[in-house]
Each structure stands twice: as C-alpha cells, then as structure tokens.
C-alpha cells in the first residue's frame, strides 16, 4: 500500500525548499493577530507625482570640548628626574640606591615651598613601579612614562599609590586606616606607596600610632613624606626615614628654566625681565612660574595680540619694583648728600606704585652687590659685577672703587634698621623718607677707627719729663710728667691703691714734686711712716721707681688736699654768713641758725652748698 497523500493534498516539501526568514515569520504573526494590511491602491493617472521623500538630516556633531587652561606650575611639573632642577645630589643618591637595590622603606623630603618635594615623591613612586614599555622592566631612575603604572601615577589614579594631605587628615583614625591597609599586598604595582604631604600637620597621637608600622613596614610598602617644617617632626619619626633636604634653586638656574618655559610657550622675554622674575621667586620654582604666568598675561594685554613679549618694564610695573636706574640715582643722591633730589625720587616712585619697603630693599640689594664685588666674590680681581646691563656694571664697579668697606657695612646696617622701621611704621612713606635722610647724614661720618685716629691726631701731647737720676723717663705716666699732685693722687687711686691714695689726699703736704722725686711733710694726725706706702703707690701708678723722703722741719710745704678742701669750705661758709641777704634774715629771725644741708665738692673747682632755716 502506497503512501497516502497529505490531508491537504499537498506534496511534502523537499529538503531543498526555501525556508521563511525571520522577518517573514514576524510579518505572518502580525497578520494573524491584527489582519493583513490593505493593498496599496494603484496610482491615479491624473494624480500628481508624489514628492520624493528626503532623508532625515543627521544631527549636528557636538564640538570637542576645549581643554581647560593649566597654569604653568602644573603644566611643567617635572615628569622625570632629568627635569627636576637644582637637586642633583638627591637624584644621584636615589640612582645609586636603585642600582644597588638599597632602597629605604621611608623617605622624607623637606625644603622651602616650590622646590619639588611632592614632585620628587611622585617621581620616586614612578621609578619604583615602572615596568618599561615592554612590561618587563624593573625599578629605574629613568621611568619610561609610557607604561600603565607611569601614566596612572602621573594622572593620580593609580590604586596602589595613595596620596594623603596631612593638613586635612590629622587624627589617629586616618593613620589607623593606613596601618590596616598596609597588611595587604599591592593590587597591580610592584610597591604600595603612601605619599603623605605636609606630614608635620599630623597630631602627636597620630605620629605615635604610625611609629611601629614606619619602623617595620611590610616589604611591599614604601612611605614618602613631604614637609616644609621639618623641625616640627618628632625625632622618633626622623630617625626612621631617609632624609633629603631639597635646596633653594639659584637665580641663574631659575632664569634658564623660565627661558625654556617661554620658548615652549612661544613667548619672547627680556633677560632683565626673567632676572627680575627669578629674583622675586626667592628660590621657589612654583612661585617663579606663577609670577611668569602673570607676566605673560600682562604682556598679552599690553601687546594686543601682536605677539607676546615680556619686557622688564612690564614686570617691574606688575611687581611694583623700583627701576634699576632709579635705584642708582637714589643711591647717588644719598651718597652725595642731596636731600632734595633723594626726596623727589622717593615721591616719584611712590606715585608710580612702588612701595616704600621695596625701595628700601632695593637699596639694600644694591649695597650688597657693591660689597660682594669689592670683595671679589664673583671671581676675584677683574671680575664683572652681578648686573644685567653694562651701565649698572660700570656704576657698581665705580662705587666699589670709591667706597671703603666700613662705609658699605655702615650703609647696610642703617638701611637694615630703616627697613624694619618702614615695615612696622603706620606711614611707610614718611618712615622711608626719614630713614634714608638718616642714612644720608651718616654716610660721610667716619667709622670708629677713623674717628679714633682723628682724635689722637688733635689731642695735645705732653712734653716728655726729664728722667730722674739713674732712671729712664720712658715709662713715666702723664700725671707724673705734668707734676700735677691732684692728678697723681687720682692715678694712684685708679691703680687700685685706695688706702695709699687716701693717705696722699688727707695727710701728705708736698714740699717738692719732681719727676721721680717726692719730698713731703705729714700732717700731725697721721702716726707712723708713710714713705714705703707712698713709694709703692707711686710706682704702681707710674711704672717707675720714685725717690720718696720726708722734708726737714723748717721747710714749708703745701697743705694737703683734704686741708685745702676744708679751707675752701670754711671760706665759702663765711662768705654765706657775710651775705647781706643772710644777715637780714638772721636779724629778722633772732636766734635762727644756718645749718648745712648738703655739700658737693668736685676737686675744688665747683661747690654747691644748701642750707635750711631752723
């Protein structure tokens, strides 16, 4: 019996029959649910042709967002140790440590602001975690900057390089998070590195909590600390770190670096302008780049798009510095004693916006450079002064030739004192004027050594005394040479022989006084022989041996100094009693007496007596 036909009298499909597509199956399902759509009506011959359907317009492409401006200090942050300027000793130490695999577990970078402490910490992190372009490299002092660790660290997104600002994370809880995290190995890097900036801001308890981990950290952990105030760190922390003191960058090195930045930015800059920027930076690269950034913006505004040129005049105006020519004119007027011209220069600079403190500092800087050139610190005799222009070099050389070292040092001291006064004065302009006038009047004053020589030249020189028999007169003092008994007695007292001086003053009546010879009488009140004491006292005071002997009873002698003073006092008292005014007062008040209230005797030359009525 043959195969029965299909119930629908349809032949079965062969293997080669075409299968429906997914779109056809989808359409069939839609038709079964919602019905087949009506067939399109044939177009009428009278109907106008249909307008062609226009393709929809593509949406407008959004413009690529412009990159935000980055300041020069961030744009030119060192990315390799070769770009880190002024720290050659530290770079060499790190290079040797990496080559010899003698890496410390903690590094401390300290120094003033803007010398590269945080940049150095990031560079160390890159150097320790760099794997090279081929992914097979090891720690190197020259990180490639191409591998994923280098790029991630440079962009601040590496999961194993953790930066913490200690100024905002000062407590024990912040340090506890570090202590708990160091137990775990690095996720993708060779070392897990903790960079703690401004580490001196951590509290005392936070430092104590970190000590044990800092002393014995796991092998995969490195600590990098940066601070500007290393003296605030505990000694226990300092002893656990390898310390690097980053130096200030010298002005010539800063000037060269700023010139390179200007070339990269396609900006022209005068040498003098770059020198002023480098001087204002005070050894800080970041400060200098910030000032240079401002100077470039100032120059753009000045040139109105005709090319950017940073000039010295623009930088001087921007920083409020005194013009170099004006500085020299001010010092010239000061040394010449021309007060009117000096005050006119000060007023002119103040009206131009130059601060009085900047004027004082400019004068101090000029005196300092003159002194250095005079001492030959720039290469010895024949070297050139530290000045950007030939005119200024000639002026400094001329002043160094004319001024004495003592004058320069006195100028510096006076200017320094004036600088402090201007800084604290309520009116800096008036303080600067008065300070510079004081310097002007003191500029030509002789120094103490010169003054002593002048006084020695004009002092009267006593005639040399004739030496005594058998004695030389070279050692005789001035009182003995002038044969003045009161001065001779004072010399004995000044030599320390006070008892002998008192004997000479109260009891010795001089009969003959000659160089090296004394003949005398003694007052009856003195009992004993005063000869040995007088001989010793005179020798001690004059440095020569004296012949001392008592005179014969019949020879007349002068009264002693005490007797003479007493006689003068008695004569003065008699004169007071004989005064008509005193006589009238005594007559008006019978029984009244004049009592001596006080007396001052100055060597017999001046007397003052006061009396009160009783």
Which domains are seen in the chain, by residue range? 72-245 (3.40.50.300), 251-319 (1.10.8.60), 324-445 (1.20.272.10), 500-584 (no CATH)
Report the SS3 class of residue 302: helix
Pairing of strands 517-522, 508-514: antiparallel
β-bridge partners, 594: 613
Top mean pLDDT of 57-66, 484-493, 583-592 is at 484-493
Element (H, E) at 318: helix 312-319
The closest alpha carbon to 329, from 305, 355, 348, belongs to: 348
pLDDT above 60 (res 13): no
pLDDT above 60 (res 71): yes
pLDDT above 90 (res 519): no
The closest alpha carbon to 414, from 346, 338, 360, belongs to: 360
The confidence score (pLDDT) of residue 1 equals: 44
Asked if residues 543 and 516 have their Cβ atoms less than 8 Å apart, the reply is no
Asked if residues 440 and 332 have their Cβ atoms less than 8 Å apart, the reply is no
pLDDT above 70 (res 55): no
Segment 437-442 mean pLDDT: 88
pLDDT above 60 (res 474): no
Cβ-based neighbour number of residue 84 at 10 Å = 20
Pairing of strands 594-602, 192-197: unpaired
Report the SS3 class of residue 522: strand
Report the SS3 class of residue 235: helix
Strand runs labelled E in 78-232:
106-110, 161-165, 192-197, 221-227
The confidence score (pLDDT) of residue 195 equals: 94
Q: Which residues contact 383 (CB under 8 A, 6 or more apart)?
A: 373, 376
Report pLDDT digits (tens) over 89-146. 999 999 999 999 898 999 999 998 889 899 999 999 999 999 988 888 889 999 988 9
φ, ψ (nearest 5 deg) of residue 64? -60, 130
pLDDT above 80 (res 355): yes
Mean pLDDT of all residues belonging to the chain: 79
Report pLDDT digits (tens) over 359-376. 999 899 899 989 888 887
Asked if residues 179 and 213 have their Cβ atoms less than 8 Å apart, the reply is yes
Report pLDDT digits (tens) over 475-505. 333 333 446 888 888 888 888 888 888 888 8
Confidence band, pLDDT 50/70/90 cuts, at residue 303:
low
Report the SS3 class of residue 115: coil
Q: Considering only residues 551 and 85, tell me which one the structure prediction assigns the higher pLDDT.
A: 85
Element (H, E) at 606: strand 606-613
Q: Which residues contact 591 (CB under 8 A, 6 or more apart)?
A: none
């Amino acid at each position: 019996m043959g195969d029965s036909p299909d119930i629908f009298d349809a032949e079965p499909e062969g293997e080669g029959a075409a299968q429906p597509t997914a779109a056809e199956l989808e359409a069939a399902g839609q038709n079964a649910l919602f019905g087949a759509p009506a067939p399109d009506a044939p177009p009428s011959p009278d109907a106008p042709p249909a307008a062609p359907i226009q393709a929809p317009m593509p949406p407008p492409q959004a413009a690529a967002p412009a990159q935000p401006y980055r300041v020069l200090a961030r744009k030119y942050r060192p990315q390799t140790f070769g770009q880190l300027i002024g720290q050659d000793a530290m770079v060499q130490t790190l290079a040797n440590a990496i080559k010899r695999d003698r890496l410390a577990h903690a590094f401390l970078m300290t120094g003033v602001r803007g010398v590269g402490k945080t940049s150095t910490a990031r560079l160390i992190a890159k150097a320790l975690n760099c794997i090279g372009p081929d992914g097979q490299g090891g720690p190197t002092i020259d990180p490639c900057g191409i591998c994923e660790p280098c790029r991630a660290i440079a962009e601040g997104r590496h999961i194993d390089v953790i930066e913490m600002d200690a100024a905002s994370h000062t407590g024990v809880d912040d340090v506890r998070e570090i202590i708990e995290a160091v137990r775990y190995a690095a996720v993708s890097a060779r070392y897990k590195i903790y960079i703690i900036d401004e580490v001196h801001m951590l509290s005392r308890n936070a430092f104590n909590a970190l000590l044990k981990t800092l002393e014995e950290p796991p092998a995969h952990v490195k600590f990098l600390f940066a601070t500007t105030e290393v003296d605030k760190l505990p000694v226990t922390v300092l002893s656990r770190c390898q310390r690097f003191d980053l130096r200030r960058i010298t002005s010539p090195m800063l000037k060269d670096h700023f010139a390179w930045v200007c070339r990269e930015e396609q900006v022209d800059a005068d040498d003098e302008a770059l020198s002023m920027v480098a001087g204002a930076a005070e050894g800080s690269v970041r400060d200098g780049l910030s000032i240079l950034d401002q100077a470039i913006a100032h120059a753009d505004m000045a040139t109105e798009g005709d090319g950017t040129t940073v000039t010295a005049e623009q930088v001087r105006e921007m920083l409020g510095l005194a013009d170099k020519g004006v500085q020299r004119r001010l010092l010239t007027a000061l040394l010449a004693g021309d007060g009117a011209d000096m005050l006119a220069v000060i007023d002119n600079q103040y009206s131009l916006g130059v601060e009085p403190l900047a004027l004082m500092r400019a004068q101090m800087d000029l005196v300092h450079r003159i002194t250095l050139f005079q001492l030959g610190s720039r290469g010895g005799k024949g070297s050139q002064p530290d000045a950007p222009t030939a005119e200024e070099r000639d002026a400094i050389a001329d002043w160094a030739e004319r001024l004495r070292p003592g004058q320069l040092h006195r100028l510096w001291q006076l200017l320094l004192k004036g600088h402090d006064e201007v800084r604290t004065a309520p009116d800096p302009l008036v303080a600067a004027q008065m300070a510079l006038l004081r310097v002007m009047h003191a500029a030509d004053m002789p120094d103490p050594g010169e003054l002593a020589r002048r006084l020695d030249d004009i002092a009267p020189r006593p005639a040399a005394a004739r030496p005594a028999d058998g004695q030389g007169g070279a050692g005789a003092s001035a009182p003995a040479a002038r044969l003045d008994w009161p001065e001779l007695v004072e010399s004995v007292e000044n030599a320390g022989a006070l008892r002998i001086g008192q004997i000479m003053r109260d009891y010795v009546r001089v009969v003959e006084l000659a160089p090296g010879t004394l003949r005398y009488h003694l007052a009856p009140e003195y009992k004993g022989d005063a000869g040995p004491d007088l001989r010793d006292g005179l020798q001690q005071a004059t440095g020569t041996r004296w012949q001392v002997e008592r005179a014969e009873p019949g020879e007349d002698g002068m009264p002693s100094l005490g007797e003479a003073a007493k006689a003068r006092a008695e004569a003065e008292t008699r004169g007071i009693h004989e005064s008509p005014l005193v006589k009238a007062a005594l007559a008006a008040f019978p029984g009244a007496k004049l009592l001596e209230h006080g007396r001052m005797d100055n060597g017999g030359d001046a007397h003052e007596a006061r009396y009160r009525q009783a």
